[in-house]
Amino acid sequence: MAFTSILRRSASSLAPLATRLVRGQRNYHAAVVTAINHSSFAGRKPSSLSPLVPNPRYYSKADDSLLRVIDAEIQCAEETDDQEIEEVPSGFPFKIEDEPGFQTVKLRRTYQDEEIQVEVHMPDLVTGEGEDDDVDDDGNEHANQSSIPLVVSVSKGSGAPILEFSCNAFPDEIAIESLIVKNPDISEDQIAYEGPDFHDLDENLQKSFHKYLEIRGIKPSTTNFLHEYMINKDSREYKNWLKKLKQFVQD
């Protein structure tokens, strides 16, 4: 009997508390509904009041910091880029195909019955050249000179073999690194004989191939202009890349 009496007293004492909790929850929800229906934020949807809905234009501190650094780099690139695109010199033997957004430039020309194409890559720049440092420990006389890589293809019609040179153009000098004859009839599964290393060829044969390219327009007067052209292209592409990067972070 005593235990039953204790349970009754406990239940009776908890009833007011439960009633207050239920009433408090109803009052809380009513207050939220009232706040949403009578919001003073004109034109704003009720869902915008919820802290669980993120703002689509919200940037983190890291994003803000990144954008500031990108802006500073763009400004620096624009201030230091005082070089203008040089006009193509008279007598330049090639047509230049320069598509923005790519790191190569293509040159084309027709010589007699040959179609010549040159793929020009971004320059390999070397800074801090020393007067007595033109030769490295391995005897490479171009170790401290900037250069631009070239791939020269000579074709005599559709389906005909292609003579392909890989070159490095240094100031006032062109170095042939390799020479291969590509046969379009050979499948990719077959390994064609590509000949010996170019530097192992007879010296007179090497000189003859340099003359072969010179006649077709691959000479220092051409490559020296291309060197400056590719430096300017590298600067333009870098600035455009920074702007695309900034736009991506902002979107």
Report helix, strand or coil for 237. helix
Helical ranges in the chain per DSSP H: 2-37, 61-80, 203-215, 220-250
Confidence label for 84 from pLDDT (cuts 50, 70 and 90): low
Give the distance from CA 231 to its chain's centroid. 16
Sequential DSSP letters for 171-185: TTEEEEEEEEEE-TT
Do strands 162-170 and 148-155 pair parallel, antiparallel, or not at all (unpaired)?
A: antiparallel
What is this structure's pTM? 0.68
* Strand 148-155 versus strand 104-111 pairing type: unpaired
Please answer whether residues 167 and 228 qualify as being in contact, where contact means their C-beta atoms are separated by less than 8 angstroms. no
What distance in Å separates the CA atoms of residue 25 and residue 63, rounded to the nearest whole number?
40
User: For the chain, what percent of residues have pLDDT higher than 90?
Assistant: 47
Average pLDDT over residues 48-72: 69
Is a pLDDT exceeding 50 seen at residue 161?
A: yes
pLDDT of res. 133? 53
Model confidence at 44, pLDDT cuts 50, 70, 90, reads: very low
Rg (CA), the chain: 36
Contacts of residue 52, defined as CB under 8 A and 6 or more positions apart, other chains included, come to none
Q: Identity (one letter) of the amino acid at 131? A: E
Walk across the sheet containing 148-155 and list its strands: 95-97, 104-111, 114-121, 148-155, 162-170, 173-182
**C-alpha closest to that of 146 among 130, 123, 128:** 123
Q: Among 27-41, 56-70, 103-117, 174-188, which stretch is predicted with the lowest mean pLDDT?
A: 27-41
Q: How many CA atoms lie within 13 A of 12 on its CB side?
A: 6
Q: Mean pLDDT, to the nearest integer, of 195-218?
A: 95
pLDDT at 94: 97
SS3 97: strand
Q: Which of 149, 177, 181 is nearest to 164 (CA)?
A: 181
Q: Which two tokens stand for residue 33?
A: 């509904």
Q: Work out the mean pLDDT of the chain and round it to a whole number.
A: 77
Residues 7-33 have pLDDT tens digits of 344 444 444 444 443 444 444 444 433
Q: Is 48's pLDDT higher than 90?
A: no
pLDDT digits (tens, 9 = 90+) for 130-158: 445 555 555 566 777 899 999 999 999 88
